[in-house]
Structure 1
């Protein structure tokens, strides 16, 4: 991959690597990427990691903010993601607000696993509002766990990718990892936990207050959401929008805002988001 990008040849030579090419500038750039890849050598190196390093190298982002898990290494894809990871490390509570595809939830889950594997927290708690996209739980079949499972699936998917299906199931069954609807948080205090509230735009003000007052000693909390995808009943204020404005002055809290420019999915996704945002602005005017 690096050979085609920089138009160089990369070959092992005894205990070193030999780089050849027509452009010294490209040789130096390839060398920088290889040096950055060295700490990851004990783990599988995939094209996504290389792409992340290339993007960071172009944006001069500090690479100390990679996430090293037992199964894989995750690097921020852009400077905004690196700043987000820095916020999580340095604040007790971080709000991440922005469109889908910016890595808000994915990176938060990765950070949670990293903190757990390093022994900095004792459990992981992933929470989502149970009602989205106009569906009322009372009209869905099954018990409450079965009803909310589809809404929690994105978090399960991230867990399975990062720590494997068997390990995730083992930790879930032992209650080290909890994936639960927001209503289950009432009356609890979570100490030494990494807590993530996902899709927080669909909380009411009182629900958000209830959630935030569950934070206990030694805990780290991340709240993620997209204010363009609010599914609350008409006339109901979003607890996420309210909390971001209300709590912004608090030193221990950081508010991190993503835009469509930080979307790391297919390039078409950014353009689609921009078009919908523009239409929404025109509608409000």
Structure 2
């Protein structure tokens, strides 16, 4: 970096308490921005001084202003919020983004424990489609928020009274161990397959409330096979890991949709665990249902991974080695 191109610019933040929150514990938020842009940020009283190349300096100031505006609105600032600013631009938190979508909702998801906001453009489009369509598909690699956002929307619709229950399901595909040889009763055998769904619910609902809802059957978590013969009315229904549903199972599940319900199907076509020669129901559904009104298909790529940055790099490496069709 040429020292001659480095400049300094300062920005004032009138509320010192909010400035402390902006900097984060041990200035970790500033460190995050510095590492992304190659700038240095110093605090001087109520000012932050940004040192670096002009383009990076300008971007840093825009991000700092946007995050400070978040704090003024009473919203927290953490690593995920900084990540969203860089992925989506500072307009991501502007009033224009808070458009009415469904029943007065916004491009944000309010749950009992936290406020969830999309961190990529693909996630934002996906959340919109979950509110706007009775049947929505989210297809892409692990770590892109497909199931997490779907469960968050389900919790939001439940606490606002739009649905009466939440039903979460997964195919219990055996991966190396046969269920019959695992210890415990049927619930104990199945629960490990369902754990990611429990984890998501625990992120959005207080433990006692979730336990009560599960006892009252307003929240159900069950293997896909348990859906046969049911009609799911006034419910928000999620089928996770749908790439491991057979074509027959997918048809069975989709035809459970009842009055007043919404259904979300999530899956990753690169992680099919079905026996060789068995067609994935997710692929069949894509082929047969694309273009039908009120059914949406949303796709994610490695660029939408919101886990550790290495996860995106790993997915891209595997995609380069063995690209998936379609």
Does the aligned pair in 2 maintain the 1:93–1:252 contact within 8 Å?
A: yes
Encode CA deviations 1:55-85: one digit per residue, 9 max, x unaligned: 3335758632111223211111111100100
TM-score (norm. length: structure 1) = 0.87
1:244 to 276, 283, 286: 286
1:162 aligns with 2:200: no
Rounded Cα–Cα distance in structure 2 between residues aligned with 1:14 and 1:195: 43
Rounded Cα–Cα distance in structure 1 between residues aligned with 2:173 and 2:17: 60
Q: CA deviation at 1:38?
A: 4.3
TM-score (norm. length: structure 2) = 0.76
1:56 to 66, 71, 88: 88
Structure 1 residues 7 and 280: alpha-carbon distance in aligned structure 2, compared to 1, 3 A threshold: farther
Task: Detail structure 1 runs of 4+ shifted over 6 Å in the superposition.
Answer: 13-19, 22-25
1:76 aligns with 2:118: yes
Does the aligned pair in 1 maintain the 2:182–2:189 contact within 8 Å?
A: yes
Q: SS of the counterpart of 2:278? A: coil
Moved more, 220-229 or 160-169: 160-169
Q: CA deviation at 1:203?
A: 0.3
Rounded Cα–Cα distance in structure 1 between residues aligned with 2:204 and 2:61: 33
Encode CA deviations 1:83-132: one digit per residue, 9 max, x unaligned: 10011111111111110000101111111111111111110000000124
2:247 to 205, 219, 226: 205
- Give the match for residue 15 of structure 2: 12
Rounded Cα–Cα distance in structure 2 between residues aligned with 1:91 and 1:240: 18
Moved more, 244-253 or 53-62: 53-62
Does the aligned pair in 1 maintain the 2:138–2:300 contact within 8 Å?
A: yes
Rounded Cα–Cα distance in structure 1 between residues aligned with 2:92 and 2:214: 39
Rounded Cα–Cα distance in structure 2 between residues aligned with 1:260 and 1:279: 14
Correspondence list, 1:62-101, <5 A: 63-64=97-98, 65-101=107-143
Q: CA deviation at 1:225?
A: 0.5
1:177 to 219, 242, 245: 219
Rounded Cα–Cα distance in structure 1 between residues aligned with 2:191 and 2:254: 23
1:232 aligns with 2:255: no
Where in structure 1 are there 5+ consecutive unaligned residues? 1-5
Moved more, 58-67 or 261-270: 58-67
2:161 to 109, 119, 127: 119
Rounded Cα–Cα distance in structure 1 between residues aligned with 2:59 and 2:169: 48
- Give the match for residue 188 of structure 2: 146
Q: CA deviation at 1:138?
A: 2.3
Encode CA deviations 1:171-221: one digit per residue, 9 max, x unaligned: 111111000101110111111100000000000000000000111111111
Where in structure 2 are there 5+ consecutive unaligned residues? 1-8, 23-45, 51-56, 99-106
Rounded Cα–Cα distance in structure 1 between residues aligned with 2:197 and 2:120: 22
Structure 1 residues 14 and 176: alpha-carbon distance in aligned structure 2, compared to 1, 3 A threshold: closer
Residues matched between the structures, number: 276
- Give the match for residue 3 of structure 1: none
Rounded Cα–Cα distance in structure 2 between residues aligned with 1:15 and 1:168: 33
Moved more, 194-203 or 60-69: 60-69
**Greater C-alpha radius of gyration:** 2
